Amino acid sequence: MDKTKIEIPKDAALQLCAEIRQKYQGKWWTLPGMQCMGCNAATKGDMTKRCVSNAPGYRGCNLVNARYDRMV
């Protein structure tokens, strides 16, 4: 089965988002750090507007997707 088709549970997606954001906080010189910084700035911290929420099954953030897919 293609892992990209598996929906990520909302709580898991938001938890992974928070963990990733914490890991890359202040590391704007890295691609993930720039992505998280941009997402946070664009959404003003509103979790419902974050990249992770921008696709069905909470598959809108490539960083969250990759971490979740490694876990399952």
pLDDT tens readout for residues 29-40: 999 999 999 999
The confidence score (pLDDT) of residue 17 equals 96
CA distance linking residue 47 with residue 16, whole number of Å: 12
As given in the structure block, the two tokens for residue 71 are 């876990």
Query: Which DSSP symbol is given to 18?
Result: H
Q: In the predicted model, is pLDDT for residue 1 greater than 80?
A: no
- The pTM of this model reads 0.89
The confidence score (pLDDT) of residue 19 equals 96
